Structure 1
Amino acid sequence: MANPTFWVGIAFVIFMVLLSYYGVPKNVVNQLDKRGQRIADELAEAKRLREDAERLLREYESKRAAAEREAAEIVSTAKAEAERLAAEAQEKMADFVKRRTASAEAKIAQAEAQASAEVRAAAVDAAIKASERILRNEITGPTATSLVTQGLNDMRTKLQ
């Protein structure tokens, strides 16, 4: 009995009996079972959360695709509207240029007519003055004066 290994073995057996008496192995098993159940519950919750996350991901992907389609439609509509506005602006510009050209041509024609009338009036005045000089030099006396005056007045009224 003096062997220390023997006493350690006896102490170990007594220790195991005391643990069994107080129900420690049962408590350990219960704690392990509870922990195993808690882990199983957490795994089930994680699985459910993952499925929810995948469902949300699919929903957001479909919403993103719909938003991209809508954005593409908006862009195409905007391009069509811009092209329409550009064509309309081009038509308005062409019409404006056409009206301005017609207005300028009308002003040019009016200026030509006015210049022609002024040239004609200047020619008439020059012809009257030349005729007056010629007639005054050739005809003399009071009858000559009355004839020249009458002829000049007639010529002015006919030429203008």
Structure 2
Amino acid sequence: MNRLALSAALSGLVASPALAATGPFFSLRNTDFVVLLAFLLFLAILFYFKVPAAIGNHLDKRAVDIRADLDEARRLRDEAQEIYASYERRQREVKGQAEEIVANARREAEAGAAKAKRDLEVSIERRLKSAQDQIASAEADAVRAVRDRAVQTAVAAASDILRTQGTPETRSAAIDRAIDDVAARFH
């Protein structure tokens, strides 16, 4: 680095307008020479206090810090990608679970509707059977009432006929036969 600075300083001297001027260059009255001396003295002080090495160390430290920051950024990016992939997997799982829940709810609703339909059909059948039983019972009651009325009418007619015909003994025997006949028909 020293050689580079010195060659830059000397190249500045070679192309300097002071060389084109007349008079000695190595004189303290020549401003170019004084500036050159000050610059060389400045460079010497910088090298004496190891400023280029300190700057280099600082730049090396800064490079190490930047590398560490880049490594940290890569690590964080990788971690973020893993978290993102985890969230995507979780989202797919949750979506699958939601679809499964919807499908289960749909199946349960369909099963509930089918059960309600079956229950309604059973209820209708039970009511129809109850109505048919009531109709059959009413028919049986009506037949029994007609039969009882017919028996009463027959007994009354037989009583009238027997009263008008025959003697009390024949009437009594006819009544007994009629009662036996009616009893036999009902049993």
TM range (shorter): 0.5 to 0.7
Check if 1:150 corresponds to 2:173: yes
Q: TM-score, normalised by structure 2?
A: 0.60
Distance 1:22 1:65 in 2: 64
**Structure 1 residues 104, 92: CA separation in 2 closer, same or farther (over 3 Å shift)?**
same
The C-alpha deviation readout for 1:68-124, integer Å capped at 9, x for no partner, is 123213322331243134224422432343244234313421331132112211221
Distance 2:138 2:67 in 1: 104
User: Is the helix fraction higher in 1 or 2?
Assistant: 1
Give the unaligned 5+ runs of structure 1: 1-8
User: How big is the shift at 1:19?
Assistant: 6.1
Pairing 1:77-156 to 2, within 5 Å after superposition: 77-133=104-160, 135-136=162-163, 138-139=164-165, 144-156=167-179
| Structure 1 stretches of 4+ moved >4 Å | 13-20
Bigger CA radius of gyration = 2
Q: Which moved more, 1:81-90 or 1:17-26?
A: 17-26
CA RMSD of aligned residues (A): 3.3
Aligned residue pairs total 148
Higher RCO (CA 8 Å, separation ≥ 6 residues)? 1
User: How big is the shift at 1:64?
Assistant: 1.1
Q: TM-score, normalised by structure 1?
A: 0.67
Distance 2:135 2:176 in 1: 33
1:124–1:156 CA contact under 8 A, matched in 2? no
Q: Which moved more, 1:91-100 or 1:42-51?
A: 91-100
The C-alpha deviation readout for 1:116-148, integer Å capped at 9, x for no partner, is 112211221133124324543x35xxx632333
Give the secondary-structure state (helix, strand or coil) at the position aligned to 2:167. helix
Check if 1:34 corresponds to 2:57: no
